[in-house]
């Protein structure tokens, strides 16, 4: 049975951050940009910072209590507040400069960004990531999104996103880090921009 998918409430973001930290424990990109010292704690705190930003400026969706999480930002989302930026800098520590290793082709103007998708390890392999992606594409279209963009550092994820209409638009191979694929998708049934609503 597929868990209920819904937009996350603010008081669910801590559980969502826990789920993402578990999902990304061994993810190549987070291992590359987060110091090994207190890695699990840093990872979880970074997820929470980004989720709070997405919850205010875009949307966060959950499968079940927090079995899976997806966060999306619109193209006009504000930059994180200075306090959030300071926290991000602190948590990345001496690996902050590695964040630039993923810079490839810029997404098409007007692209909404899927910032993260993660599923608890015990719940992986059951189609939850696909359910979350479909939910996010539909919710974005309801808010007027016509195009989505994302980055991934796992080739298995490339195949996953391709099944949902994404195509690879760039690939970056940092000298000391994992490859990063930039991907893009067009949503054919986007709602009119003036029909957007906010959760």
Domains of the chain by residue range: 5-195
**H or E, element range at 151:** strand 147-152
Counted residue by residue, the chain has a size of: 199
Q: Which CA distances in Å does 132 have to 72, 75, 152, 163, 184?
A: 11, 20, 16, 13, 17
Would the pTM count as exceeding 0.85?
yes
Cα 100 from Cα 78, distance rounded (Å) = 20
Q: Which stretches of the chain are DSSP H helices?
A: 13-23, 28-33, 39-57, 82-92, 128-142, 155-162
Classify residue 171 by its DSSP letter.
Answer: E
CATH class for the region spanning 5-195: alpha beta
pLDDT tens, residue order, the chain (199 aa): 567 999 999 999 999 999 999 999 999 999 999 999 999 999 999 999 999 999 999 999 999 999 999 999 999 999 999 999 999 999 999 999 998 877 766 778 899 999 999 999 999 989 999 999 999 999 999 999 999 999 999 999 999 999 999 999 999 998 889 999 999 999 875 444 433 333 3
Give CA–CA dist 119/100, Å, rounded: 26
């Amino acid at each position: 049975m597929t868990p209920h998918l819904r937009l996350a409430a603010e008081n669910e973001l801590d559980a969502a951050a826990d789920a993402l930290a578990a999902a990304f424990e061994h993810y190549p990109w987070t291992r590359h940009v987060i110091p090994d010292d207190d890695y699990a704690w840093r990872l979880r705190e970074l997820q929470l910072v980004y989720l709070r930003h997405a919850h205010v400026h875009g949307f966060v969706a959950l499968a079940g209590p927090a079995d899976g999480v997806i966060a999306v930002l619109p193209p006009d989302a504000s930059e994180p507040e200075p306090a959030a930026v300071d926290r991000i800098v602190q948590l990345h520590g001496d690996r902050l400069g590695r964040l630039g290793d993923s810079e490839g082709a810029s997404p098409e103007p007007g692209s909404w960004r899927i910032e993260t998708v993660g599923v608890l390890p015990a719940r992986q392999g059951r189609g939850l990531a696909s359910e979350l992606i479909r939910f996010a594409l539909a919710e974005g279209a309801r808010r007027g999104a016509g195009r989505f963009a994302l980055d991934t550092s796992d080739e298995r994820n490339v195949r996953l996103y391709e099944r949902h209409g994404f195509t690879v638009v760039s690939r970056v191979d940092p000298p000391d880090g994992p490859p990063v694929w930039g991907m893009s998708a067009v949503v054919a049934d986007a709602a009119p921009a003036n029909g957007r609503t906010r959760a």
